[in-house]
């Protein structure tokens, strides 16, 4: 069988499993649709969190970013892993103890305000739409390669599949599907990593091969010989300022991501939320500790396969021919010498989309067709798992936090589910459009969502837990300030790719790029929240007492604390 046939067969099998789980866990009530009935076992929830976390950005794009950026690409490893630890230890247990459905639920009740709830829901929608766009891009790339169709068609196919799973099972179906998808993701990532590690270094353990062999030195020398910068040279693609700002944006943004935070509401208790976090860290570490090695191995194999070889010869290589069909790999013989000049500079003749690095690596390394197909199935699982969770997060923000909690408190379960599913379809269409017209790699697009999370929700969640004096006026002003500023900066810096302008409106914000500018928005949020809250009325006494109870260690771990005073 051909690689494509094996891939399609494996994808059909895994999708049949996902569909069966979705049908088994289909929902008819909002509790199961939004938070899976708060009855998910800790290990399963940990696996679901890991699958939700290890999106297309982690599986497909992160190793590609490390391969292209070298040393500077480690910002994604440091930011995302450090941010998850921050979320798990600093925020998640307190949010679970509060006992609500969603992040806007927490903000609305903590700040005793429907307006605060609405603003938080709007921020949730912007964050989730940006994040899901990167997932749609990843799904589109996989389908475009293995169905041999244009990436636009691939994105549209992915849109239909993602919508099907999310509509069918809600959060309950998504959670159990994600628990299975995690194991597909990790197996698909580790097996080719072991194989390529052994092939290049004789050591099957990627982490040991990366640090205990000369592979990085060999790669660095090849890049220097081709006119590129040395692979491990720091601050070549990103300045020191941007490395710091992007890492901080990814960390703080992690702690403000609604679709990750909601995972801690799907378990029975605060204790279960903590253990879910522990299991998730273990599961996530398996991929994140392997990604740097995969990035280096992939870059070495890619350069070795095509650099300084006749273009005609290279274009007859099977994997090159198939990726060229997608439009994500192209050659441009600028000097007319008929050779592939792979330099990374202005005379570079290879146009390669960084998002294909991981997916193409097994083919470039001539691994078995089954492994190539397994990586494709893993990429789809990564993108689909996160996209489904994001869709549920957006629909809950609209149908639960805005429609039900603000505009129609008498709405029936059926009405709320209908509004949620309509919202899901609209969100899918918007995400598909951005997936077809992305402002960067899948990982870079996702990084924008983290910046929005850091600028809008993280400060208010943190202050809502640890600052009793923080009030509704401060929360609303802070969220709006951080969100509007960051959206405006991202729009102006990336205006060429987002709005099609002839050139960017601004190159950066005082040297800070679009992925890092969320930190500035976050600082503004903290400052505005603090100043406004100190110059307006203090929260009601019962709200201040509530916060003390949420933070009190003597409160039973299995208890929930409910708040509920609204404007």
Q: Evaluate whether 307 touches 331 at the Cβ level (below 8 Å).
A: no
* 203 vs 14, higher pLDDT: 203
The whole-number pLDDT of residue 54 equals 75
Alpha carbons 424 and 417: distance in angstroms, whole number: 10
Please spell the DSSP secondary structure of 297-360, one letter per residue: HHHHHHHHHHTTSBHHHHHTSHHHHHHHHHTSEEE--TTSSSB----SSTT--EEE-GGGHHHH
Alpha carbons 148 and 2: distance in angstroms, whole number: 13
Residue in 51, 46, 57, 47 with CA at minimum distance from that of residue 80: 57
Cα angle 404, 564, 93 (rounded to 5 degrees) comes to 100
The whole-number pLDDT of residue 98 equals 78
Alpha carbons 327 and 352: distance in angstroms, whole number: 9
Q: Give 28's pLDDT tier (boundaries 50, 70, 90).
A: low
Can you give the length of the chain in residues?
A: 567
Please spell the DSSP secondary structure of 158-178, one letter per residue: HHHHHHHHHHHHHHHHHHHHH
Average pLDDT over the chain reads 84
Crossing angle (nearest 10°) for helices 74-86 and 442-456: 40
Q: Evaluate whether 483 touches 456 at the Cβ level (below 8 Å).
A: yes
- Is residue 345 scored above 60 in pLDDT? yes
Cβ of 31: how many Cβ atoms within 10 Å?
A: 16
The whole-number pLDDT of residue 450 equals 92
Alpha carbons 37 and 268: distance in angstroms, whole number: 9
Q: Side-chain half-sphere of 340: how many Cα atoms within 13 Å?
A: 22
Provide the 3-class DSSP secondary structure of residue 381: helix
Cα 544 off chain centre by: 34
Cα angle 148, 62, 66 (rounded to 5 degrees) comes to 110
Per-domain boundaries in the chain? 3-437
pLDDT digits (tens, 9 = 90+) for 409-460: 888 878 887 888 888 888 888 878 877 877 666 667 888 999 999 999 999 9
pLDDT digits (tens, 9 = 90+) for 472-508: 999 999 999 999 999 999 999 988 877 778 888 999 9
- Encoded tokens for 524: 């503004």
230 secondary structure, DSSP code: P
Q: Evaluate whether 485 touches 524 at the Cβ level (below 8 Å).
A: yes
Q: How many helices (H) and strands (E) does the chain have?
A: 27, 2
Provide the 3-class DSSP secondary structure of residue 181: helix
pLDDT digits (tens, 9 = 90+) for 347-367: 788 888 878 888 899 999 999
Name the class of domain 3-437. mainly alpha
Q: What are phi and psi of 226, to 5 degrees?
A: -90, 0
Q: Evaluate whether 246 touches 79 at the Cβ level (below 8 Å).
A: yes
pLDDT digits (tens, 9 = 90+) for 531-542: 999 999 999 999
Q: How far, CA to CA in Å, does 553 sit from each of 17, 270, 302, 352?
A: 42, 12, 54, 53
Alpha carbons 117 and 100: distance in angstroms, whole number: 12
pLDDT digits (tens, 9 = 90+) for 540-565: 999 999 888 888 764 445 555 555 44
Q: Report strand pairing: 329-331 vs 350-352.
A: antiparallel
Alpha carbons 558 and 274: distance in angstroms, whole number: 11
pLDDT digits (tens, 9 = 90+) for 244-285: 999 999 999 988 888 777 777 667 777 787 788 888 888 988
Which of 32-41, 523-532, 549-558 has the highest mean predicted lDDT (pLDDT)?
A: 523-532
- Is residue 337 scored above 70 in pLDDT? yes
Q: How far, CA to CA in Å, does 481 sit from each of 292, 332, 446, 486, 519?
A: 36, 45, 21, 8, 12
CA dihedral defined by 405, 479, 564, 87, rounded to 10 degrees? 110
- Is residue 383 scored above 90 in pLDDT? no
């Amino acid at each position: 069988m051909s690689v494509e046939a094996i891939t399609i067969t494996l994808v059909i099998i895994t999708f049949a499993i996902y569909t069966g789980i979705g049908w088994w866990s289909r929902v008819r009530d909002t509790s199961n649709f939004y938070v899976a009935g708060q009855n998910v076992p800790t290990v399963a929830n940990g696996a679901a969190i890991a699958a939700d976390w290890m999106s297309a950005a982690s599986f497909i794009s992160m190793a590609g970013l490390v391969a292209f950026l070298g040393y500077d690409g480690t910002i994604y490893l440091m930011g995302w892993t450090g941010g998850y630890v921050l979320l798990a230890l600093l925020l998640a247990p307190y949010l679970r103890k509060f006992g609500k459905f969603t992040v806007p639920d927490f903000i609305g009740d903590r700040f005793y305000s429907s307006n605060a709830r609405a603003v938080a829901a709007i921020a949730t929608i912007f964050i989730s739409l940006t994040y899901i766009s990167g997932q749609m891009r990843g799904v589109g790339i996989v389908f475009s390669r293995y169905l041999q169709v244009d990436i636009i068609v691939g994105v549209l196919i992915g849109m239909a599949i993602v919508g099907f799973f999310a509509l069918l099972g809600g959060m309950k179906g998504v959670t159990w599907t994600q628990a299975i998808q995690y194991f597909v993701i990790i197996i698909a990532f580790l097996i080719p990593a072991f194989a390529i590690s052994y092939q290049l270094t004789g050591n099957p353990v990627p982490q040991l091969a990366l640090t205990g062999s000369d592979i990085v030195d060999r790669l660095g020398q090849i890049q220097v010989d081709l006119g590129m910068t040395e692979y491990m040279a720091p601050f070549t693609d990103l300045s020191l300022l941007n490395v710091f700002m992007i890492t901080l944006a990814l960390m703080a943004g992690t702690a403000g991501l609604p679709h990750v935070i909601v995972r801690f509401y799907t378990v029975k208790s605060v204790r279960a939320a903590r253990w879910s976090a522990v299991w998730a860290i273990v599961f996530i570490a398996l991929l994140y500790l392997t990604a740097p090695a995969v990035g280096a191995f992939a870059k070495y194999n890619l350069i070795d396969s095509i650099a300084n070889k006749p273009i005609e010869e290279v274009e007859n290589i099977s994997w090159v021919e198939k990726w060229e069909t997608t439009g994500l790999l192209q050659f441009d013989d600028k000097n007319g010498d008929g050779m592939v000049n792979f330099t990374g500079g202005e005379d570079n003749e290879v146009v390669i989309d960084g998002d294909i690095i991981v997916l193409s690596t097994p083919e470039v390394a001539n691994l078995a067709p089954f492994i190539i197909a397994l990586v494709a199935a893993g990429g789809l699982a990564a993108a689909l798992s996160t996209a489904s969770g994001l869709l549920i997060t957006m629909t809950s923000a609209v149908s639960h936090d805005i429609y039900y909690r603000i505009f129609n408190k008498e709405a029936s379960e059926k009405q709320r589910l209908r509004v949620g599913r309509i919202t899901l379809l609209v969100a899918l269409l918007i995400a598909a459009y951005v997936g077809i017209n992305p402002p960067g790699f899948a990982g870079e697009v996702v990084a924008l969502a983290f910046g929005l999370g850091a600028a809008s929700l993280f400060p208010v969640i943190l202050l809502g837990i640890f600052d009793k004096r923080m009030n509704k006026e401060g929360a609303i002003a802070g969220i709006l300030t951080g969100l509007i500023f960051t959206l405006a900066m991202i729009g102006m810096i990336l205006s060429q790719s987002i709005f099609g302008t002839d050139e960017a409106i601004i190159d950066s914000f005082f040297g800070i790029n679009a992925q890092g500018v969320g930190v500035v928005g976050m600082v503004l949020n903290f400052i505005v929240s603090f100043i406004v809250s100190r110059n307006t009325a203090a929260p009601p006494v019962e709200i201040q007492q509530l916060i003390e109870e949420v933070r009190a260690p003597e409160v039973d771990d299995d208890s929930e604390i409910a708040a509920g005073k609204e404007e």
